[in-house]
């Protein structure tokens, strides 16, 4: 009986979402305050019912209720409880429900944390969020009901969760990613609300900024978790495949990064307004595009659970409605906005503009590479694939250019920067970076042009960041006082840029100096990978809770000193009968040694993959820095000012308190 309650809760939530998208808007049009005031309680109610539905589905998983088709298809009584829990979003219907739960959560968060906003604005923002929720609730209720039953023939046991997904990475990766995807809906809603009442001002930018930053931080974490998961769980040590599904998450990240920076200019200087609004619309549309690509079955991959054309059509329609209606609104309202502030041709504004150009170019590149084969295939013009080299050759120069500009941009000032002054300012950081990069080249033994460019960009960004921090923290009362005087949003920026540098360094070094060897080994054999010697000791059988495995033992030594003992496995899962490779990894801050067992070649010989991966952890460490920076930035004092903020006209010429760093420039 209770699964039907879940569906009932979803239908009630749909009713509330419809009310939420209509009533407050009607209130703003007719000027009736009491109608606008419905926005907050409706958001809360919406969240309660969606949470109820999600709770009921989780309950069905935890008690192994295989009468629910979705549970029967994605769970099994042998699964440990935590995988039963994460299996809730291990399939199409459940992950969509999680998406909607996140959306309702963000809506509620906006309702709760936006007390300072004018009532009209909050009514409009929440109404837009309500509209998005209506679309997705309709989608789940009409095409992907997670509460469908298999009655009266209830299966004795479930078909099990795909073994690839039985992993800690999967417990956390989708929720983080969805927090990011869905979080951009808030920036989108703010942009639409601003367009509706024609008030694209600094106050609007200030309100959208923290929401955008949080969503971006979650998305960074989600992407990094996915990459980390692919690295150790897909078994072969790759960390980014330029797979369309990965690209689908990278697209909103790239344009979201552009949006974050453009919002900063709009808030500080009151320029780029139309551009910022457009970016907000584009970023959320790319989130929707990502959802469409992954969920519609257009792509076949681990992520594409279902391939029901009806679902694809529905999602495409949702995407089209969102994009077209918001662009139409944009076309009618954006030209109303006038730019008042002036800025010179060498200024922080220009650097941030260039940052946006590069990021948008990168977004376009990834989009072309991802969609081109799909479009051709759809038009029946042949099947082709665009390989990794395409993305590597086009993306890397843009990434390096972004890094180089970023280093210079850190020193630049709002309005006008003197070229000669900037040149002198950059001289020393430039020299330090060149020396440091050369040292890195020597350590890793060998100069390679792209490795040099990538490392230089990374070193340059971090040197410039620290240099700037040193400059800014100069104070008569001592260094410590100067450091403490900097705002949290400034430190957020420092962390974010350092994170980018760390990720760039990791990506460059591991792709240029990593070693990968496939060898044939029998127990007793040794092989070298880099400076490490790997000895194959033995391989035997092991039984896990829901799998059997061939369990290898390898000794890793460096110059005769033991480093670690690795146990790569080949698992065969009992229910779905598929084979999974579990790599043995000795992880470290500066290098990973990676052993994976391939197929059995003869009675005593195995194909073994050995890898030496320098700085591979930096890839994910950098994204932790970036996310931490994002969270730190929104903890800034100016977002928590108690007094009622009256929307200042056009450009905010007076920077708020607690923003010394940026105000100084």
Partner 1 sequence: MHPIRKKRLIIVLFLLAGIAVAVGLTTYALRQNINLFYDPSQIVAGEAPVDVRIRAGGMVEEGSVLRDPESLKVEFKVTDFNSSVLVEYTGILPDLFAEGQGVVAMGRMTDNGRFVADQVLAKHDENYMPPEVAEALERASGGKHKAVDGNSTGAGY
Write each residue from 189 to 228 as x if it is in contact with partner 1 (CB under 8 A), else as -, in one continuous string.
----------------------------------------
Which neighbouring-strand residues pair with 519? 608
Q: Which stretch, 40-48, 145-153, 440-448, 598-606, contacts partner 1 (CB under 8 A)?
A: 598-606
Q: Does an H or E element contain 536, and which?
A: strand 532-543
Q: According to the binding rule CB under 8 A, does residue 259 interact with partner 1? A: no
Closest separation in Å from C-beta 661 to partner 1:
26
What interhelical angle do 168-196 and 119-143 show, nearest 10? 130
Indicate the residue among 394 and 564 with the shorter CB distance to partner 1. 394
Indicate the residue among 372 and 631 with the shorter CB distance to partner 1. 372
Closest separation in Å from C-beta 494 to partner 1:
27
Indicate the residue among 127 and 401 with the shorter CB distance to partner 1. 401
Does residue 441 contact residue 454 with C-beta atoms inside 8 Å?
Answer: no
Q: Taking CB under 8 A as the criterion, which residues in 464-523 touch partner 1? A: 518-520
Indicate the residue among 378 and 447 with the shorter CB distance to partner 1. 378
Q: Collapse the DSSP code of 636 into the 3-class scheme (helix H, G, I; strand E, B; otherwise coil) and give the result.
A: coil
Q: Which stretch, 251-259, 350-358, 414-422, 553-561, contacts partner 1 (CB under 8 A)?
A: 350-358
Closest separation in Å from C-beta 366 to partner 1:
10
Indicate the residue among 124 and 417 with the shorter CB distance to partner 1. 417
Indicate the residue among 2 and 378 with the shorter CB distance to partner 1. 378
What CA–CA distance (Å, rounded) separates 266 from 352? 11
The residue assigned the tokens 């949290």 is 488
HEC assignment per residue over 473-513 = CCCCCCHHHHHHHCCHHHHHHHHHHHHHHHHHHHHHHHHHH
Instruction: Pick the binder of partner 1 from 13, 35, 137, 164 (CB under 8 A).
Output: 164
What CA–CA distance (Å, rounded) separates 103 from 97? 10
Closest separation in Å from C-beta 258 to partner 1:
12
Instruction: Pick the binder of partner 1 from 105, 397, 588, 656 (CB under 8 A).
Output: 397
Does residue 457 contact residue 497 with C-beta atoms inside 8 Å?
Answer: no
What CA–CA distance (Å, rounded) separates 211 from 81? 34
Closest separation in Å from C-beta 84 to partner 1:
21
Closest separation in Å from C-beta 394 to partner 1:
5
Q: Which residues contact 1 (CB under 8 A, 6 or more apart)?
A: none
Q: Smallest Cα–Cα separation from 404: which of 469, 349, 358?
A: 358
CA 188 to chain centre: 17
Q: According to the binding rule CB under 8 A, does residue 364 interact with partner 1? A: yes
Indicate the residue among 105 and 344 with the shorter CB distance to partner 1. 344
Indicate the residue among 302 and 574 with the shorter CB distance to partner 1. 302
Output the DSSP codes for 430-453.
HHHHHHHHHHHHHHTT---HHHHH
- Report the alpha-carbon angle 20-26-30, nearest 5: 155
Instruction: Pick the binder of partner 1 from 394, 522, 557, 660 (CB under 8 A).
Output: 394
Q: According to the binding rule CB under 8 A, does residue 379 interact with partner 1? A: no
Q: According to the binding rule CB under 8 A, does residue 446 interact with partner 1? A: no
Q: Does an H or E element contain 534, and which?
A: strand 532-543
Does residue 62 contact residue 76 with C-beta atoms inside 8 Å?
Answer: no
Output the DSSP codes for 204-250.
HHHHHHHHHHHHHHHHHHHHHHHHHHHHHHSSS--S----HHHHHHH
Closest separation in Å from C-beta 23 to partner 1:
35
Instruction: Pick the binder of partner 1 from 52, 360, 537, 645 (CB under 8 A).
Output: 360
Q: Which stretch, 205-213, 499-507, 595-603, 642-650, contacts partner 1 (CB under 8 A)?
A: 595-603
Q: According to the binding rule CB under 8 A, does residue 173 interact with partner 1? A: no
A 10 A CB-CB count for 65 gives 18
Does residue 323 contact residue 285 with C-beta atoms inside 8 Å?
Answer: yes
Q: According to the binding rule CB under 8 A, does residue 382 interact with partner 1? A: yes
Closest separation in Å from C-beta 581 to partner 1:
6
Instruction: Pick the binder of partner 1 from 389, 446, 449, 560 (CB under 8 A).
Output: 389
Q: Collapse the DSSP code of 518 into the 3-class scheme (helix H, G, I; strand E, B; otherwise coil) and give the result.
A: strand
Q: According to the binding rule CB under 8 A, does residue 526 interact with partner 1? A: no
Give how many residues touch partner 1 by CB under 8 A. 65
What CA–CA distance (Å, rounded) separates 325 from 343? 33
Write each residue from 297 to 336 as x if it is in contact with partner 1 (CB under 8 A), else as -, in one continuous string.
xxxxxx-x--x-x-xxx--x--------------------
Instruction: Pick the binder of partner 1 from 130, 135, 256, 598 (CB under 8 A).
Output: 598
Closest separation in Å from C-beta 363 to partner 1:
9
Does residue 212 contact residue 181 with C-beta atoms inside 8 Å?
Answer: no
Strand ranges of the sheet holding 584-586, from the earlier edge strand across to the other edge: 515-521, 606-614, 591-600, 584-586
Closest separation in Å from C-beta 489 to partner 1:
26
Instruction: Pick the binder of partner 1 from 476, 599, 642, 644 (CB under 8 A).
Output: 599
Closest separation in Å from C-beta 484 to partner 1:
38
Write each residue from 601 to 630 as x if it is in contact with partner 1 (CB under 8 A), else as -, in one continuous string.
xx----x-x---------------------
Q: Which stretch, 89-97, 180-188, 221-229, 382-390, contacts partner 1 (CB under 8 A)?
A: 382-390
Indicate the residue among 342 and 657 with the shorter CB distance to partner 1. 342
Instruction: Pick the binder of partner 1 from 114, 283, 296, 322 (CB under 8 A).
Output: 296
Q: Smallest Cα–Cα separation from 535: which of 583, 595, 587?
A: 595
Closest separation in Å from C-beta 591 to partner 1:
22
Write each residue from 542 to 581 as x if it is in contact with partner 1 (CB under 8 A), else as -, in one continuous string.
----------------------------x-----xxxxxx
Q: Which residues contact 467 (CB under 8 A, 6 or more apart)?
A: 410, 411, 428, 429
A 10 A CB-CB count for 606 gives 21
The residue assigned the tokens 């769970």 is 75
Q: Which residues contact 627 (CB under 8 A, 6 or more apart)?
A: 217, 218, 220, 221, 499
Angstrom CA distances, 291 to 89, 103, 287, 303, stand at: 14, 13, 6, 10
The residue assigned the tokens 């779905």 is 576
Strand 584-586 relative to strand 569-573, pairing: unpaired
Name the site residues for partner 1 (rule: CB under 8 A).
162, 164, 235-236, 296-302, 304, 307, 309, 311-313, 316, 339, 342-343, 345, 353-354, 357-358, 360-361, 364-365, 368-369, 372, 374, 377-378, 382-387, 389-390, 393-394, 397-398, 518-520, 570, 576-581, 596, 598-599, 601-602, 607, 609
């Amino acid at each position: 009986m209770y699964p039907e309650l879940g569906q009932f809760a979803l239908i009630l939530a749909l009713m509330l979402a419809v009310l939420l998208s209509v009533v407050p808007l009607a209130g703003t049009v007719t000027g009736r305050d009491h109608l606008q005031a419905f926005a907050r309680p409706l958001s809360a109610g919406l969240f309660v019912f969606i949470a109820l539905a999600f709770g009921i589905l989780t309950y069905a998983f935890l008690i192994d209720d295989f009468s629910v088709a979705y549970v029967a298809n994605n769970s099994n009584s042998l699964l440990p409880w935590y995988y039963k829990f994460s299996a809730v979003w291990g399939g199409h219907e459940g992950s969509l429900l999680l998406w909607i739960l996140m959306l309702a959560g963000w809506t509620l968060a906006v309702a709760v944390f936006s007390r300072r906003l004018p009532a009209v604005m909050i009514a409009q923002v929440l109404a837009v969020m309500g509209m998005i929720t209506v679309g997705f609730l309709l989608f789940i209720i009409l095409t992907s009901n997670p509460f469908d039953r298999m009655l009266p023939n209830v299966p004795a046991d479930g078909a099990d969760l795909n073994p690839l997904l039985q992993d800690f990475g999967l417990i956390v990766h989708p929720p983080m990613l969805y927090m990011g995807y869905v979080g951009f809906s808030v920036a989108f809603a703010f942009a639409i609300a601003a367009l509706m009442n024609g008030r694209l001002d600094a106050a609007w930018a200030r309100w959208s900024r923290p929401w955008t930053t949080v969503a971006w931080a979650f998305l960074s974490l989600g992407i990094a978790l996915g990459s980390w998961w692919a690295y150790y769980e897909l078994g072969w040590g790759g960390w980014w495949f330029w797979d369309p599904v990965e690209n689908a998450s990278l697209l909103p990240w790239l344009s979201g990064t552009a949006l974050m920076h453009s919002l900063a200019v709009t808030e500080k200087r009151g320029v780029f307004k139309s551009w910022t609004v457009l970016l907000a619309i584009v970023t959320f549309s790319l989130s929707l595009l990502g959802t469409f690509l992954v969920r519609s079955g257009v792509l076949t991959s681990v992520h594409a659970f279902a391939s029901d054309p009806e679902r694809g059509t529905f999602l495409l329609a949702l995407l089209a409605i969102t994009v077209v209606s918001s662009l139409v609104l944009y076309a009618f309202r954006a030209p109303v906005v006038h730019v008042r502030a002036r800025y010179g041709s060498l200024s922080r504004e220009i650097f941030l503009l260039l940052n946006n150009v590069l990021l948008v170019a990168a977004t376009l590149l990834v989009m072309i590479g991802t969609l081109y084969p799909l479009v051709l295939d759809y038009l029946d013009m042949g099947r082709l694939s665009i390989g990794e080299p395409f993305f590597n050759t086009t993306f890397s120069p843009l990434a390096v250019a972004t890094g180089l500009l970023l280093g210079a941009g850190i020193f630049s000032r709002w309005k006008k920067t003197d070229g000669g002054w900037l040149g002198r300012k950059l001289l020393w950081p430039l020299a330090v970076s060149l020396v440091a990069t050369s040292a890195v080249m020597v350590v890793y033994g060998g100069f390679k042009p792209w490795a040099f460019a990538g490392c230089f960009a990374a070193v340059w960004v971090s040197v410039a960041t620290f240099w700037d921090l040193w400059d800014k923290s100069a104070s008569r009362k001592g260094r410590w006082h100067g450091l403490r005087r900097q705002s949290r949003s400034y430190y957020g920026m420092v962390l974010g840029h350092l994170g980018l540098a760390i990720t760039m360094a990791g990506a460059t070094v591991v792709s240029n100096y990593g070693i990968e060897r496939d060898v044939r080994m029998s127990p007793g054999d040794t092989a070298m990978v880099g400076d490490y010697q790997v000895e194959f000791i033995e391989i035997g059988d092991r039984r896990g809770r829901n799998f059997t495995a061939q369990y290898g033992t390898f000794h890793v030594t460096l110059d005769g000193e033991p480093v670690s003992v690795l146990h790569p496995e080949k698992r065969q899962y009992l229910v779905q009968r598929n084979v999974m490779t579990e790599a043995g990894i000795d992880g470290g801050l500066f290098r990973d040694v990676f052993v994976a067992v391939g197929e059995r070649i003869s009675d005593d010989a195995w194909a073994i993959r050995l890898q030496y991966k320098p700085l591979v952890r930096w890839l994910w460490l950098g994204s932790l820095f970036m996310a931490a920076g994002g969270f730190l930035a929104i903890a800034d004092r100016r977002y928590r000012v108690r007094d009622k903020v009256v929307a200042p006209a056009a450009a905010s010429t007076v920077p708020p308190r607690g923003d010394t760093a940026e105000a100084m420039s």
